[in-house]
C-alpha cells in the first residue's frame, strides 16, 4: 500500500503498532534501544516483534547513548538498518557504521518551519544536503507538511499498549489513512 510521502514511526513498543504500520506501508520503524530511556524495548522483545513484520527499514533510536561500547552492542543485538540520534549523541558519529537520522532539538530547529521535532536523514556522515522529516501531531500537520517543499516526509510516534492487542491508534490511523494513495 503506497503512501503519499515517506513515513517513519518511532518509539515502537509493541506488536500492534509494528504490524499496523508495516501493513500500512510505513518506510521506517524506530525502536528505543538504550536501556533506561523512555519506551526502551529490550533485544528479546524486539526480536519477537521483528519476527512478525516485513517491509519497513529498522531504526535503532539511540537517544541517551553513553559510550561507544553500548553502540556496538546495540548494533549487534538489534541489527538495524539506520540509527536515530540527537545532537547529544553526535560525539559518537565516528563510531557509526550505519546511515542515520539526526533529530534536531527545538533550540536548533530549522527557521520558519512550523513542525517540531525535525529530522535529517544522512546516508553518509557530513552530507551537505539532507532530506528533512518533520514530526506530526495531527491531521492538520500532515496537510501542511505535504505542501511544504522543504519536507521530504513525516515522523509519527508509537505508544504503549494498555494490554496486548488493546491500544488506541486513532491518530496514527487517521494520519496514515490520509496518506494512502489508493
Residue 127 lies in a domain: yes
Residue 1 lies in a domain: no
Residue 83 lies in a domain: yes
pTM score, whole prediction: 0.88
Looking at the structure of the chain, the number of domains it has is: 1
- So what's the pLDDT on residue 57? 97
Residue 56 lies in a domain: yes
* Domain enclosing residue 48, as ranges: 6-179
Select from 96, 98, 71, 100 the least CA-distant residue to 85: 100
Residue 90 lies in a domain: yes
Between CA 3 and CA 175 the distance in angstroms is: 11
Which of 95-109, 129-143, 164-178 has the highest mean predicted lDDT (pLDDT)? Answer: 129-143
**Which residues on neighbouring strands pair with residue 156, listed in sequence order?**
9
Residue 87 lies in a domain: yes
pLDDT tens-place string over residues 156-174? 988 777 666 555 567 788 8
Identify the band that residue 95 occupies on the pLDDT scale cut at 50, 70 and 90. Answer: confident
- The domain that holds 66 is classified in CATH as 3.20.20.70
Residue 76: is the preceding peptide bond cis (ω within 30°)?
no
pLDDT tens-place string over residues 1-56? 589 999 999 999 999 899 999 999 999 999 999 999 999 999 999 999 999 999 99
Select from 54, 9, 6, 55 the least CA-distant residue to 32: 9
Amino acid at each position: 500500500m503506497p503512501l503519499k510521502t515517506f513515513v517513519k514511526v518511532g518509539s515502537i513498543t509493541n506488536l500492534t503498532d509494528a504490524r499496523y504500520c508495516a501493513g500500512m506501508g510505513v518506510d521506517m520503524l524506530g525502536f528505543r534501544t538504550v536501556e533506561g530511556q523512555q519506551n526502551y524495548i529490550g533485544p528479546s522483545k524486539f526480536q519477537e516483534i521483528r519476527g512478525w513484520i516485513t517491509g519497513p527499514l529498522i531504526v535503532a533510536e539511540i537517544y541517551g547513548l553513553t559510550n561507544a561500547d553500548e553502540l556496538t552492542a546495540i548494533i549487534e543485538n538489534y541489527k538495524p538498518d539506520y540509527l536515530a540520534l540527537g545532537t547529544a549523541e553526535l560525539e559518537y558519529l565516528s563510531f557509526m557504521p550505519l546511515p542515520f537520522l539526526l533529530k534536531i532539538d527545538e533550540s536548533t530547529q530549522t527557521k520558519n518551519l512550523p513542525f517540531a521535532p525535525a529530522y535529517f536523514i544522512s546516508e553518509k556522515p557530513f552530507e551537505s544536503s539532507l532530506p528533512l522529516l518533520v514530526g506530526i501531531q495531527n491531521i492538520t500537520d500532515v496537510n501542511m507538511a505535504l505542501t511544504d517543499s522543504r519536507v521530504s516526509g513525516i515522523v509519527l510516534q508509537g505508544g504503549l499498549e494498555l494490554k496486548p492487542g488493546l491500544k488506541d491508534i486513532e491518530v496514527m490511523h487517521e494520519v496514515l489513512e490520509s496518506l494512502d494513495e489508493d
